[in-house]
Amino acid sequence: MMLIVLFEFGCLLVDALQEIATTMGSKYWTFNADACRIETVGLTKKQTKGSQANSDCDCNFENSTVCHVATLTLKGFSLPGLLPPQLVKLPYLRKIDFAYNYLNGTIPQEWASTKLTYISVLVNRLSGQIPKYLGHITTLTFLNLEGNQFSGIVPTELGNLVNLQTLMLSSNQLSGYLPETFSGLRILNDFRINDNNFIGTLPDWVQNWKKLTRLEMHSSGLEGPIPSNISLLNNLEELRISDTNGPYQEFPLLRNMTSLVRLVLRNCNISREIPAYIWSMKNLEMLDVSFNKLAGQLPSTIGAERLKFVFLTGNLLSGNVPRSILRDGSIVDLSYNNFTFQGPEKPDCQKNLNLNLNLYRSSSEENNLRGILPCLKNFKCPRYSNCMHINCGGSDIIVKDENNTNVLFEGDGSVEGGSAKYFRNEKSMWGFSSTGDFMDGFELQNTRYSVSLTSSNLSELYTTARISPLSLTYFHYCLENGIYTITLHFAEIKFTNDKGYTSLGRRIFDIYVQEKLVWKDFNIEHEAGMAQKRLVKQVDNVNVTSNVLEIRFYWAGKGTTRIPERGHYGPLISAVSVVSNFKPCTNSGTVRTIYIIAGVVGGICLTLFIVAILWWKRCLRGKRGRQKDLLGRDMQMRTFTFKQIKAATNDFDSAKKIGEGGFGPVYKGHLSDGSLIAVKQLSSNSKQGNREFLNEMGMITCLQHPNLVTLHGCCIERDQLLLVYEYMENNSLANALFGPENRINLDWPTRVKICTGIARGLAFLHEESRLKIVHRDIKATNVLLDGDLNPKISDFGLAKLYDEEKTHVSTKVAGTIGYMAPEYALLGHLTYKADVYSFGVVALEIVSGKKNSYVPSNACVSLLDWAYQLQQGGNLKELIDESLVSEINGKEAEVMVKVGLLCTNVSPSLRPTMSEVVSMLEGQTTVPDTKPEARYHALKI
């Protein structure tokens, strides 16, 4: 009898399911109607690993003689089609799970007439606004839209889903306020809105959700403070809020939440003390209040018997660490706090502790080494290093650099991970601190803090990586003070490039160097253009002043957390390189041991100058002699082969030419590791160019400052002389100010920053550097702009050493007409005040947006001459760039113009020093009034 009924209804059933599978993009489909079982489905005949295909039938109809499909699960197949409107042909269908596919489009309107109770479309490509008609399915108890691309505001109609118990909207692009109609969802017990763009605060009506057991708002966009009436939700077992903006607040009142198992209030601007009752919560297993402003001391006794995970990272907590928090089997992270220094005799420094404890920077110490080396009382550096190469999450490997030199990357893959992990490589003097637990993951902690990719076209360096669920800091101690270049190597090896759900992941994190944010919302895949492709990012001019370098990666709650599987997120790093800008790394990239000798840097630079002078005096003759002698000296710079430079510049392709330097063309280049460079080329047939080449190489090698361009190295091979510089994305200041119509728009704050930066660079050359130097060719063309429009002085081919004991240097005049000081141009008398004059001209160009050659009328011969005329007539405002009129700060503009005129005074003795100029531009001192000078010096100098 039952077989007859199944046959009568079977055709309709099978046809409907076939249509559903086809709409969803399945190429294969076989359904056994007699057994109510899906036998084949997907893009291949063989079932995808980890996928689920289930159909449950309810046969409680007509005395158990008729069956209807009640549940349909097609999960993890990466089906590329649409959500099927044909579900309406299954009127008894109650539950659908289409998670982990590649479905696009939106939710069909036909679904509004169904009586579904459970909808999961977790991790797909659904987009557009959440449909209003979804609110008509009032039978819904479970709705999961997480991990899609829904955008816009959440429709108020969802408030009609009065039977809803679970609502998951995380990892979309939703915005606007939470609908007030949500206050009517009174039986809601699970609400998650992580990783969205909502606005406003958590509404007061959340108090209506008395049955709520789980609330998640990681980087939801909602602001603080956390409302006080949240304490009425006394059934909450998991409260997770993080990365909210808003005013500082005290710890929210949670006394009545006695059911709490996991409490996460991370980076929520919470200050004052942690309430004492928190430490007595009987059910509490995890407490994460990291990265707030919490102060005070921890209690001597802790009554929360089940508390296992404690994350207090990044606060202002002080006092001793109580024994009661150091329980067997617990995970405790106290890093970045102000606790009393934990010497080797303290309980938390005992080696036999059966717990994971991280004390990195847990105490505030004047001795910087004490902070990063907890439990070591009187540590002194046995030696000083100046480079570091780490293969994160991998083994020791040898990598060939651009010079075909072997570089050892030390691996940390054998280091077990952990939720509160501190590791130190004592031999090489580096380590890492890792904070956080991968919540909701399938795997136990300690097993997933390094990842690998077994089959790919990536080089070995990029097939492994270290990851962290919250914060990961790599540090190098006993590092010689100075300027360093940091290279960070990435490859997104957990996501894919195919048309499957594993390609839908988004990994977003922040990167700090020396506690300075250098990249916000960093996305490896976005930066590289695809997954499983190497990405190299460089941080230049990193200043190490206390023999410690720190690179920190922080997850701020953004990005997906369920791709490729549940509990996967957080920062990922493949390798780290740290190289000194002032000394080479020896032993093929292994950590170098250097004993500090007073005056070593100055001595090396002077040696280099002597070599250059001897060469110029013909003491070192011939091409072979020149190459051998120059490369044989310790020039403290990297040497490139001509083959490398040719490859980087595509054989000096004219399309790569970006400018003309003081002694030849400049080309943009790409090194094999992906980093950008600028190559200045000189033909060896030019005697003047040879001298400038040596001069520039010698000068810039000895100089390191944020406002001076960085020289990466050189190539002296055959008849080729080349200098390799850091690449400056925005070309020169001249191009930005006077270039074609599509030039960079320099607003007023940027111009102030540029002018002040040039002044700082010159102050360093004249007054702060070990070797006092006069540049001799300061002009807008020789000021380069990096990606953030920070100025860097370049082209040191004409620079000269300056002896402070002499009143001036008599020398052959060299420079650029219009920028030379009169006493130098007419008499050959050179002092650092010549640079001050040139700076004054550039300052006037910056404020006016006009070249110094600008002639507004026959009554004047240059921009400077015009400025003096305007000063005499009291009309200096006419000098200001007309494009800035609406945004300019009048007081700052007046200061800049007056400084420019003061610097171009006819008398060198009346010109300020560059440190005085910096002080004036920054508003620390006033600009003295000056009378207009005679104009003889403005006449075509």
Q: What is the CATH number of the domain that holds 427?
A: 2.60.120
What is the reported pLDDT for 931?
57
Q: What is the CATH number of the domain that holds 668?
A: 3.30.200.20
d(CA 910, CA 927): 12
**Domain presence at residue 192:** no
pTM of the model: 0.65
**Domain presence at residue 811:** yes
**Domain presence at residue 159:** no
- Residues annotated as catalytic are 777
User: In the predicted model, is pLDDT for residue 704 greater than 80?
Assistant: no
The residue behind tokens 């295909």 is 53
The answer on 891 and 866 residing in a single domain is yes
The answer on 403 and 521 residing in a single domain is yes
From 589, 621, 638, the end of a domain falls on: 589
Q: What is the largest CA-CA distance in the chain?
A: 118
The answer on 553 and 636 residing in a single domain is no
The answer on 430 and 559 residing in a single domain is yes
The answer on 777 and 900 residing in a single domain is yes
The answer on 738 and 628 residing in a single domain is no
d(CA 347, CA 370): 17
Phi-psi domain of 723 (left: phi exceeds 0; alpha: psi -120 through 50; beta: other)? beta
The residue behind tokens 């003097």 is 429
The answer on 632 and 529 residing in a single domain is no
**Domain presence at residue 14:** no
281-335 pLDDT tens trace: 999 999 999 999 999 999 989 989 899 999 999 999 999 898 888 888 899 999 9
- Domain of residue 881 covers 733-938
What is the reported pLDDT for 633?
37
135 touches 114 (CB < 8 A): no
- Kindly write down the DSSP assignment for every residue of 880-937, as one continuous string: S-GGGTTT--HHHHHHHHHHHHHHT-SSGGGSPPHHHHHHHHTTSSPPPP-PPPPSGG
The answer on 641 and 585 residing in a single domain is no
The answer on 515 and 650 residing in a single domain is no
**What per-residue string of b and e applies to 805-841 under the rule 16 or more CB within 10 Å gives b?**
eeebbeeeebbbebbbbbbbbeeebbbbbbbbbbbbb
| Neighbouring C-beta atoms of residue 235, cutoff 10 Å | 16
Q: How confident is the model at residue 612 (pLDDT cuts 50, 70, 90)?
A: very low
From 681, 697, 726, the end of a domain falls on: 726
E strand or H helix that includes residue 297: none
**Domain presence at residue 505:** yes
Contacts of 693 (CB under 8 A, 6+ apart): 663, 682, 721, 723, 797
What is the reported pLDDT for 741?
56
Task: Look at residue 608 and give its three-state secondary structure.
Answer: helix
**Domain presence at residue 814:** yes
The residue behind tokens 């699970």 is 190
| Neighbouring C-beta atoms of residue 368, cutoff 10 Å | 14
| Neighbouring C-beta atoms of residue 601, cutoff 10 Å | 18
**Domain presence at residue 169:** no
Q: How confident is the model at residue 364 (pLDDT cuts 50, 70, 90)?
A: confident
Three-state secondary structure readout of 809-864: EECCCCCCCCCCCHHHHHHCEECCHHHHHHHHHHHHHHHHCCCCCCCCCCCCCCHH
Please count the helices (runs of H) and the strands (runs of E) in the chain.
Answer: 14, 52
Q: What is the CATH number of the domain that holds 779?
A: 1.10.510.10
Which of the residue ranges 477-481, 523-527, 585-589, 911-915 would you say has the lowest mean pLDDT?
Answer: 585-589
The answer on 750 and 673 residing in a single domain is no
Rg (CA), the chain: 34
**Domain presence at residue 53:** no
What is the reported pLDDT for 441?
65
Phi-psi domain of 587 (left: phi exceeds 0; alpha: psi -120 through 50; beta: other)? left
d(CA 323, CA 343): 15
What is the domain count for the chain?
3
More confident residue, 444 or 436: 436
The answer on 738 and 719 residing in a single domain is no
E strand or H helix that includes residue 43: none
Q: What is the DSSP letter of 766?
A: I
What is the reported pLDDT for 689?
56
115-149 pLDDT tens trace: 999 999 999 999 999 999 999 999 999 999 999 99
Query: Phi/psi of residue 28, each to 5°?
Result: -125, 140
From 559, 589, 619, the end of a domain falls on: 589
The answer on 775 and 704 residing in a single domain is no
Q: How confident is the model at residue 811 (pLDDT cuts 50, 70, 90)?
A: low
182-235 pLDDT tens trace: 999 999 999 999 999 999 999 999 999 999 999 999 999 999 899 888 989 999
651-692 pLDDT tens trace: 888 888 887 765 678 899 998 777 889 998 875 445 445 556
Q: Which of 658, 782, 790, 640 is nearest to 723 (CA)?
A: 640
